[in-house]
Structure 1
Amino acid sequence: MGDIYLFDVASRQAQWLSVRQATISSNIANANTPGFKAKDVEPFSKVFDRTHLTMAATSKAHLGFDEASVRPEKVRKSESWDTVHSGNSVSIEQEMIKAGEINREYSLNTGIVKAFHRMLLASTRSGQ
């Protein structure tokens, strides 16, 4: 049986979600800091595209992931709702929406991994 990369991809996404959650938490923590600019991370689809995942991977390094490649970016003006008089661009409502998205993506990620794990266990038990 060849390597199964679904678990690697799920692990990479969980790491990305963790970095994004930390970034959102930082935004919320600095909501009253004058001049603070809200940040977000690069979308996972862009991070995943850089992995160059193919059907026939020959090395575990093909899915390399380092936290330095998922750096917080400044939120573009088109993504920000408003800037208060102090120059702070954090919108608590927008950050809470992002936190909800992270929660849903994490739940989906863990649900897929659990289902795949059960399927894998079922296939190995039936082969005995």
Structure 2
Amino acid sequence: MFEKLEVFQMAQSMAQTAALRESAIATNIANADTPGYRSREVASFEDTYRSDHGEAMRATRSGHLGADGHYSVEVTESEQTGAASPDGNNVSIEDEMVDAANTKRQHDLALAIYKSSLGILRSSLGRS
């Protein structure tokens, strides 16, 4: 019942996006010396969540059209126009480290939202 609350769905989606970004960053760093490798990236959470959830009608029952509540995001090849190395690889370790720090911050935020919402829910039920 409580897993259908929008704030919990949002926090879960945010954590899933952060996990996928962490995986893409790790793959990029692992392939930093691979000739011809093009870096991968994941679209920002706010852009993908807004496009999946922002404009549609709100479904109040599972039988309503479009009520699956499914959120998806995918890894795509980076569209960086920066300089590639002579072997065609465009991974920048410095950029990946900055992205990793930002992704950790996003993941921590998702956990904080979840924890705070759970605390509010428990308080409203009279439990601590």
TM-score range, shorter chain: 0.7 to 0.9
Q: CA RMSD in A?
A: 2.3
Pair 1:57 & 2:63 matched: no
Distance 1:25-1:123 versus aligned 2 partners, 3 A rule? same
Q: Which amino acid aligns with 1:72?
A: V
Q: Which amino acid aligns with 1:101?
A: N
Q: Distance in 2 between matches of 1:8 and 1:55?
A: 16
Gaps of 5+ in 2: none
Q: Distance in 1 between matches of 2:33 and 2:52?
A: 37
Pair 1:75 & 2:78 matched: yes
Gaps of 5+ in 1: none
Consecutive aligned runs of 4 or more in structure 1 exceeding 4 Å deviation? 53-56
With CA pairs under 8 Å and 6+ residues apart, which has the higher RCO, 1 or 2? 2
Q: Is the CA contact (8 Å cut-off) linking 1:52 and 1:62 kept in structure 2?
A: no
| 1:16, distance to aligned residue in structure 2 (A) | 1.2
**Identical-pair percentage:** 31
Q: Distance in 2 between matches of 1:110 and 1:55?
A: 27
TM-score normalised according to structure 2 size: 0.82
Q: Distance in 2 between matches of 1:4 and 1:55?
A: 16
| 1:27, distance to aligned residue in structure 2 (A) | 0.3
Pair 1:121 & 2:127 matched: no
Q: Is the CA contact (8 Å cut-off) linking 2:25 and 2:40 kept in structure 1?
A: yes
Residue of structure 1 equivalent to 2:41: 40
Q: Distance in 2 between matches of 1:72 and 1:4?
A: 27
